[in-house]
Amino acid sequence: MAGRDRVVHLLRQLERAACRCPAHSNTFHQGVRAAPCTVRKTDYAFEMASSNIRYGEGVSKEIGMDLQNLGAKNVCVMTDRNLSQLSPMKAVLESLVKNGVKYKVYDNVRVEPTDSSFKDAISFAKNHAFDAFVAVGGGSVIDTCKAANLYACHPDADFLDFVNAPIGKGKPLIGAVKPLIAVPTTAGTGSETTGVAIFDYEPLKAKTGIASRAIRPTLGIVDPTHTLSMPERVAANSGFDVLCHALESYTALPYDQRSPCPTNPINRPAYQGSNPISDVWSRQALHVVAKYMKRSVRDPEDLEARSSMHLASVFAGIGFGNAGVHLCHGMSYPIAGNVKTHSAKGYNVEHPLVPHGLSVVLTSPAVFNFTALMCPERHLEAAEILGADIRQVKREDAGAVLADTLRQILFDLHVEDGLGAVGYTKDDIPALVKGTIPQERVTKLSPRAHTVEDLSRLFEASMKLY
């Protein structure tokens, strides 16, 4: 009985500590049983899924042994052309050679992949009958490797079969894929923890993706020494992705307000809405970002800062990989997909590019000013973690305070002054809104409902930041 009393006491404490705002209330409400999905419209449960993670300086040297332990005989190693000549890739290949693992390298991954670049990688994978995959790089590499693994294991599938609706068919994935070990070299996407692969769908000039727990990596090898190769702007933009992953997942619509309620658990989406477990990871990621992000950008040799941001990327990845993201990411996809001539500093690519993290963070002040109405407490808490003094702040000012806090971070890290600075004008807003509408998988997790007119106003407010 003592143990039972202790559990009841803790649950009551959690109930009292839960957020009281409209979007996050009654997280631990007692005395109300969840109705089955045959009678309720919203979900009543959430799942927690993540890749296995191994962290440590120099831990990449173990990857050859991991592949041996998996019984791998023919391994596909994916990277991009820049990384193919750098130390992270050399460390991985040395481990494979030392442990007698046969491999082939695919180094044609595109930074910010497209359906065409995915298909090229898929073709390579199908032609070589690999029994395991290794991805060495940032989110672009890891996502491309996930897709190559998926379609090589389902050779008869149409490319759009597993792509998220409404652009694709959104079929649930049934059946196994091959083992995939991800070795992230940026502190940003958290792709080593998630079952999501994002790409530009060129026919519609919009980003979409594949989302299934089945494609998440078997193992993430998080070696902080690899982040020392990140240029300053790559570190900044990767960090902004961590920041927005944490903020969006922490402020997302709660899981028990998300609809529809799945009639079969296989249909429960990877992005489920905020929940008590994802909150822990997202909140901790914010604390790390607040302490270490500026240091990691300003000093590439600061191993403590870069190591900490690498872990923050994992924390935020586990958080958003289960809770989801919302408006910043949904609006970022057409920003990246409709890029005109912008040349991204620090990225050795031949095509115009608005890096993912930058495309996400440029709208963040406007977005969180908009969403704060539904959960001012969480927005104020986030602002305080990021350095704002909220002692005299009223609940109704939560959005403005968080927006100002974000603007100051962006200004301090020399971020472009809004969408106008990366080539967009007010005339582009209809196209940007049009590209956001298909992103319902994430935008529906906004804690505040929104209209087309709301999206237009958010894009307009993001044209200039300072």
52-228, which class in CATH?
alpha beta
Helix/strand/coil for 183: strand
Supply the pLDDT for residue 229.
84
Residue 181's identity, in one-letter code, is I
- Give the pLDDT score at 130: 98
d(CA 251, CA 314): 18
Burial class (CB in 10 A: 0-12, 13-18, 19+), 223: buried
Q: Which range, 27-41, 342-356, 449-463, is most confident?
A: 449-463
Task: Please state whether the peptide bond connecting residue 166 to the residue before it is cis, i.e. omega within 30 degrees of 0.
Answer: yes
Per-residue model confidence (pLDDT) at position 405: 99
Higher pLDDT, 204 or 221: 221
- pLDDT, residue 294, reads 98
Structure confidence by residue, pLDDT tens digits, 15-61: 434 444 444 544 333 344 555 666 789 999 999 988 999 999 999 99
Which token pair is 454?
A: 């709301």
Closest C-alpha among 67, 403, 446 to residue 257: 446
pLDDT band at 346 (very low <50, low <70, confident <90, very high): confident
pLDDT at 44: 96
Six-digit token pair at 423? 């080539």
- Interatomic CA distance for residues 154 and 152, integer angstroms: 5
- DSSP letter for each residue of 244-300: HHHHHHHHSPBGGG-SSPPSSGGGS-S---B-HHHHHHHHHHHHHHHHHHHHHHH-T
pLDDT band with cut points at 50, 70 and 90 for residue 135: very high
Predicted confidence (pLDDT) at residue 12 exceeds the cutoff of 80: no
The rounded distance, in Å, linking the Cα atoms of 223 and 303 is 11
160 DSSP assignment = G
Instruction: Answer whether residue 207 shows pLDDT above 90.
Output: no
Q: How far apart are alpha carbons 210 and 319 in whole angstroms?
A: 18
Tens of pLDDT, residue by residue over 302-331, are 999 999 999 999 999 999 999 999 999 999
CATH superfamily assigned to domain 231-461 = Dehydroquinate synthase-like - alpha domain (1.20.1090.10)
- The per-residue pLDDT for range 99-118, each reduced to its tens digit, is 999 999 999 999 889 999 99
What's the one-letter identity of residue 147? A
Q: Are 250 and 283 in contact (CB under 8 A)?
A: yes
End-to-end C-alpha distance for the chain, whole angstroms: 59
Q: Is the pLDDT of residue 437 over 90?
A: yes
Q: What's the pLDDT at 28?
A: 33
What is the rounded distance in angstroms from the CA atom of residue 112 to the CA atom of residue 206? 12
Q: For 222-241, what is the mean pLDDT?
A: 94
pLDDT exceeds cutoff 60 at 250: yes
Q: 4-8, 84-88, 326-330, 331-335: which has the minimum mean pLDDT?
A: 4-8
Mean pLDDT across the stretch 231-259?
A: 97
> What are the extents of the domains in the chain?
52-228, 231-461
Query: What's the pLDDT at 17?
Result: 42
Q: What is the pLDDT of residue 322?
A: 94
The model's pTM is 0.88
Contacts of residue 17, defined as CB under 8 A and 6 or more positions apart, other chains included, come to none
pLDDT of residue 177: 96
The reported pLDDT for the residue numbered 146 is 98
Q: Residue 386 phi/psi, 5° resolution?
A: -85, 5
Contact 85, 107 (CB under 8 A): no
Average pLDDT, the chain: 91
Mean pLDDT confidence for 290-299: 97
